[in-house]
Amino acid sequence: MLLTPGSMISGTLKLNDLLDKFAHELALHDHGENKLLIEEAINWAKTENAHISGDCVDVMQDILNDLSNKLNDLCPQDHYFGSHPDNGADFGVWKVDWEEGYGEWLNEQEIEEALADETKCGLCGNLLKDCYLACTQTYNEEGGE
């Protein structure tokens, strides 16, 4: 089941609030694959704000990123999970705004075409699809940074 487009939580950037909401939303759509992540997030969400140290923030942020990635995988086509483009404190499922340049990643067909491309790089002579790595290595070997 896919997530419904729209706001999920807004008006807060507190890690506890976001962890709690993201974990509960994922739990509604989960079939057991993410049970440990959900439990860990809910446990961390119970941490009092006054007791959150720098190390705790790092752990909580990592869990929040994992939850966000899982929720993003549950979005309908042409949608993403994250903060609203006009309001960073409004998290939910939003339609990709292609006209504004958002979502300019390659689609499946473009990826397949790029991988099938046999064009050679004029600098390194490798396939163009592999040249970034090869040119970077050559640049480094010749005294570049």
Q: How does pLDDT run across 53-106, given as a tens digit for each residue? A: 778 888 999 999 999 999 999 999 889 999 998 888 999 999 887 665 544 455
Does pLDDT of 143 surpass 50? no
Q: Report pLDDT digits (tens) over 94-129.
A: 988 766 554 445 556 665 666 676 766 666 666 665
Q: Looking at the structure, do residues 83 and 114 belong to the same domain, yes or no?
A: no
Query: Contact 89/11 with Cβ under 8 angstroms?
Result: yes
Please state, in angstroms and rounded to a whole number, the distance separating the CA atoms of residues 63 and 58: 9
CA 107 to chain centre: 16
Q: Looking at the structure, do residues 13 and 83 belong to the same domain, yes or no?
A: yes
Residue 45 maps to a domain: yes
Q: Domain tally for the chain?
A: 2
Residue 1 maps to a domain: no
Q: Looking at the structure, do residues 96 and 114 belong to the same domain, yes or no?
A: no
Amino acid at 20: D
Please state, in angstroms and rounded to a whole number, the distance separating the CA atoms of residues 4 and 140: 48
pTM attached to this predicted model: 0.66
Q: Looking at the structure, do residues 87 and 116 belong to the same domain, yes or no?
A: no
